[in-house]
Amino acid sequence: MTRGVYELDANVKPGNSGGPVVIAGGEVVGVVFSRSTIYSNLGYALTSPGVLARVHLAESRHHR
C-alpha cells in the first residue's frame, strides 16, 4: 500500500469513483478514486484518514 492509498483487487466500473470501500464488519475504510485502464480487476482508493486530510487541506485553503 502506498501511504494513504489502498490497491483494490476489485473490478471498479466507470462512475464508481467516490464510492465507499467497506470491509466485512461494515466499516467504511476508504473512498474509490481510480481504476486501472490496463488491468480489469485493479482499482485504487484513498484511506479514510487520507480523505479527511484532503478535506481539511481544502478547507484551510478556502478560508485564507
Domain of residue 28, CATH code: 2.40.10.10
The number of residues making up the chain comes to 64
Q: How many structural domains compose the chain? A: 1
Look up the pTM and report it. Answer: 0.74
Look at residue 12 in the predicted model and tell me its pLDDT. Answer: 83
Residue 63: burial class (beta carbons within 10 Å; 0-12, 13-18, 19+): exposed
Could you tell me the residue range of the domain that residue 19 belongs to? 5-62
Cβ proximity of 20 and 26 under 8 Å: no
The DSSP result for 1-64, as a single string, is --TTEEEE-S-PPTT-TT-EEE-TTS-EEEEEEEE-SS-TT-EEEEEHHHHHHHHHHHHHHHT-
Look at residue 2 in the predicted model and tell me its pLDDT. Answer: 58
Look at residue 64 in the predicted model and tell me its pLDDT. Answer: 72
Please list the pLDDT of the chain residue by residue as tens digits (64 residues).
Answer: 557 889 998 888 888 888 999 999 999 999 999 988 888 888 899 998 888 888 898 999 887 7
